[in-house]
Structure 1
């Protein structure tokens, strides 16, 4: 059984999107629009997104009009989208719309992932739901040299230091890459 990872970029003051749900601030950082391939979870066989993240991805790359762009980031991996609404899907993409508690969907995620990892792409609240049920194994953040002052928080939960163990810290271009192992509550 693989691990469940929350891997994302964040501003220095802890936001994953600005107050308009935009990532323009991230793309303005040197190499912010083309992350180093070594930073992406290579063993992830399943992706998980909340509806806000999913809709942003669709709009940012005009994916419904250009469905081939879906594979540029997602590849052929199944993508589970947590939503309570009907959402469009690009042609040919393996997207599975789900609703309900993360604990109820977790068996389906693990089955789809096989021995691979599950990458919680975003958002922070969805990653927090995995954390709440002790299903999150790792938090990896690429900290950008930007202060937003507000927006969508990295992880809108209190997580005390006894649950996080630093695995690595390194400079990757203009980003500080921090990886923490998460221990059960």
Structure 2
């Protein structure tokens, strides 16, 4: 069964972006040893992508004319009116995340669903009991404030560390599971 995974990078103090959605601090680490291989291995297992409107807007502003997820169905949670990039398999949706889980799972097939971002969207999956894994690259930078990794209302159940490894430039990749692979939701 497909798993819903939050594959993300965050600063040492738990932020995925500055308060103004600046990722310059993260982009300084492009090309670190093991990063490309980790991403490609992860993407081999992705059959459907889900992201928030802020992440979509950032991509459109910073990657004009380049849709990085060609060939993979993508859902964008937004309250704004957007146009899909040419040739992209993009569906714009509104509402609770659990309302669309059957669509995500159907599109993922035998692969997984990637919650690209942001943290607020991933927190909605966690609150609905539908986030299975967090795959976190901890970047050795302290931001002080910004957009939180997973802004949940209260503590999560204990997560299980399923893997960890050190990558280049002091980056540590941690894989946590919210539950067993057999978990099917709430």
- Whether 2:73 is the aligned partner of 1:55: answer no
Q: Is the 8 A contact 1:49 1:121 kept in 2?
A: yes
Q: Is the 8 A contact 2:165 2:172 kept in 1?
A: yes
Q: Please name the residue that 1:166 is paired with.
A: 161
Q: What is the rounded CA distance, in whole Å, between the counterparts of 1:141 and 1:31 in structure 2? A: 17
The verdict on how the C-alpha distance between 1:30 and 1:46 changes in structure 2, with shifts beyond 3 A counting, is closer
Aligned CA-pair RMSD? 1.8
The verdict on how the C-alpha distance between 1:30 and 1:80 changes in structure 2, with shifts beyond 3 A counting, is closer
Match of 1:113 among 105, 108, 111: 108
Q: Secondary structure at the match of 1:148?
A: coil
Which runs of 5 or more residues in structure 1 are unaligned?
none
Please, what TM-score do these two structures have when normalized by structure 1?
A: 0.89
Q: Is the 8 A contact 1:139 1:179 kept in 2?
A: yes
Please, what TM-score do these two structures have when normalized by structure 2?
A: 0.88
Q: What is the rounded CA distance, in whole Å, between the counterparts of 2:140 and 2:115 in structure 1? A: 23
Q: Is the 8 A contact 1:45 1:117 kept in 2?
A: yes
Match of 2:132 among 128, 137, 140: 137
- Whether 2:39 is the aligned partner of 1:39: answer yes
Give the number of aligned pairs.
176
